[in-house]
């Protein structure tokens, strides 16, 4: 920036021209600013705004994307770039930008409902919400068609209608209603799947084999804790939801994860007996191991408020290791008191909450298993759809 005075004068003139709706003059001014200071994000953004007003959508897209590349952590830039891409007819690219912005700040799409924001931001947020819903609903349909195509090539004609009708709650394109009282999964919902708040023991033929290992699992856990292995608050301190205000960053509910979000943690190597014990279970796994597996510690007096889990295609299992006294969980309208060494299986897409009214810590081992009513083919189809979605997210790239 060799001549800041000249740059300031040019920028001021461009801004004045924009206010006066002299768009050609404003565009020329911002292009001169960019030539002098190419790393100044605001000049690229303003140029994009001017090009949009001129109806030059392709050039607006170029300017907004240039701004985004200077700060790919700014969700507002993704909102503007995505809207310009959608207006230019580049729907797939718009979905990419909107989804990247949504990763940074999920409130971006919800801005459409905020009266305290400008009409322009609300309009773009409404576009983002619509484009993402349309895109991910089509993506699920493509995933199911792809699974069926592969099955036909093997000579199979599977009935996966229940998986085809699955609803990705946050990106579903169209109205729907939850069919069962107290059941409202927040991410994935298979409406045609039988709804049971608590899974009967007879549906878990492997339960006894897991329970028989309770003492070994507990001893391994206590040894790790005694050696200094630390728990962390289960609810991250940065969590914004008012629901978790009391537990945000609070060790009253803490966890020691062996697997989290499909990834193995460094602590897993400390628990060979625990991992061996779970080989008997119909646990949800990826090629990397269990989707989630952790010890959950609830301190005396702690209360986990009523909430809903993410999906109803899986069930949650608790293996109680330390139950010092009055502690229980409510799932839907069922209340259950943990008993050491006795597995408890439930569908956490039902509203549930938990208490520890005892004077010592309550500890359970938590993992996920497949919903017992899903056939092997349906499980495979659902995992294919989930993988299809994850692959798109992993492979998306900022468009040129």
Model pLDDT for residues 218-241, shown as the tens digit of each residue: 999 999 999 999 999 999 999 888
Half-sphere exposure (Cβ direction) of 253: Cα atoms closer than 13 Å:
17
For residue 232, what are the β-bridge partners? 255
Judge whether 362 and 327 are in contact, CB under 8 Å: yes
Q: How confident is the model at residue 265 (pLDDT cuts 50, 70, 90)?
A: very high
- pLDDT computed for residue 251 by the predictor: 97
Model pLDDT for residues 308-361, shown as the tens digit of each residue: 999 999 999 999 999 999 999 999 999 999 999 999 999 999 999 999 999 999
- pLDDT computed for residue 4 by the predictor: 57
Model pLDDT for residues 114-139, shown as the tens digit of each residue: 999 999 999 999 999 999 999 999 99
Q: How confident is the model at residue 3 (pLDDT cuts 50, 70, 90)?
A: low
Angle at 105 between CA 115 and CA 386, to 5 degrees: 120
Share of the chain above pLDDT 90, in %: 94
Calpha distance 282→64 (Å, rounded): 48
Q: How confident is the model at residue 77 (pLDDT cuts 50, 70, 90)?
A: very high
Model pLDDT for residues 284-322, shown as the tens digit of each residue: 987 778 999 999 999 999 999 999 999 999 999 999 999
- pLDDT computed for residue 155 by the predictor: 95
Model pLDDT for residues 144-172, shown as the tens digit of each residue: 999 999 999 999 999 999 999 999 999 99
Is the CA virtual torsion 218, 220, 221, 222 positive or negative?
Answer: positive
Q: Please, what is the average pLDDT of the chain?
A: 95
Cα dist. 96→79, 91, 100, 398 in Å? 11, 9, 6, 7
- pLDDT computed for residue 1 by the predictor: 46
Kind of pairing between the strands at 303-307 and 344-346:
unpaired
**201-370 — its CATH code?**
2.60.120.330
For every residue of 134-186, DSSP letters joined together read: HHHHHHHHHHHHHHHHHHHHTT-----HHHHT-EEGGG-SS-----STTB--S
Helix (H, G, I), strand (E, B) or coil at 200: coil
- Is residue 2 predicted with pLDDT exceeding 90? no
Model pLDDT for residues 43-70, shown as the tens digit of each residue: 999 999 999 999 999 999 999 999 999 9
Helix (H, G, I), strand (E, B) or coil at 88: coil
Calpha distance 244→386 (Å, rounded): 27
Q: Are 4-123 and 201-370 equal in CATH topology?
A: no
Helix (H, G, I), strand (E, B) or coil at 357: coil
- Tell me the CATH class for 4-123: mainly alpha
Cα dist. 143→166, 171, 256, 377, 386 in Å? 12, 15, 34, 14, 8
Domain ranges of the chain: 4-123, 201-370
Distance between start and end Cα atoms, the chain: 27
Mean of pLDDT values over 268-282: 95
Q: Which of 306, 359, 364 is nearest to 335 (CA)?
A: 306
H or E segment to which residue 290 belongs: strand 289-290
């Amino acid at each position: 920036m060799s001549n800041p005075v000249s740059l300031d004068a040019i920028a001021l003139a461009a801004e004045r021209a924009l206010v006066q709706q002299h768009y050609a003059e404003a565009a020329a001014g911002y292009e001169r600013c960019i030539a002098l200071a190419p790393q100044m994000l605001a000049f690229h953004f303003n140029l994009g705004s001017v090009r949009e007003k001129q109806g030059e959508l392709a050039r607006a897209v170029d300017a907004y994307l240039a701004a985004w590349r200077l700060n790919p952590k700014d969700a507002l830039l993704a909102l503007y770039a995505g809207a310009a891409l959608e207006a230019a007819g580049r729907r797939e690219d718009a979905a990419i930008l909107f989804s990247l912005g949504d990763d940074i700040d999920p409130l971006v799409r919800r801005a459409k409902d905020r009266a305290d924001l400008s009409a322009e931001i609300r309009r773009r947020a409404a576009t983002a919400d619509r484009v993402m819903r349309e895109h991910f609903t089509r993506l699920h349909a493509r995933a199911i068609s792809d699974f069926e195509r592969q099955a036909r090539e093997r000579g199979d004609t599977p009935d996966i209608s229940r998986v085809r009708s699955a609803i990705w709650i946050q990106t579903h394109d169209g109205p729907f209603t939850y069919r069962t009282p107290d059941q409202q999964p927040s991410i994935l919902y298979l409406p045609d799947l039988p709804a049971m708040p608590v899974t009967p023991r007879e549906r878990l033929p492997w339960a006894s084999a897991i329970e028989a290992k309770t003492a070994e699992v507990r001893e391994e856990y206590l040894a790790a804790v005694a050696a200094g292995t630390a728990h962390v608050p289960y609810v991250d301190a940065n969590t914004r939801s008012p629901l978790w205000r009391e537990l945000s960053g609070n060790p009253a509910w803490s966890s020691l994860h062996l697997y989290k979000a499909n990834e193995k943690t460094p602590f897993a190597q400390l628990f060979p007996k625990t991992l061996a014990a779970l080989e008997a279970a119909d646990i949800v796994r990826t090629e990397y191991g269990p989707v989630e597996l952790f010890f959950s510690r609830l301190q005396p007096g702690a209360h986990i408020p009523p909430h809903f889990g993410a999906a109803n295609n899986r069930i949650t299992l608790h293996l109680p290791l330390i139950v010092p006294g009055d502690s229980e969980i409510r799932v839907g309208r069922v209340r259950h008191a943990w008993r050491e060494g006795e597995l408890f299986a439930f569908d956490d897409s039902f509203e549930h909450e938990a208490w520890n009214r005892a004077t010592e810590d309550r500890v359970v081992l938590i993992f996920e298993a497949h919903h017992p009513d899903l056939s092997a083919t349906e499980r495979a189809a659902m995992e294919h759809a989930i993988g299809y979605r994850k692959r798109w997210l992993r492979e998306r790239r900022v468009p040129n």
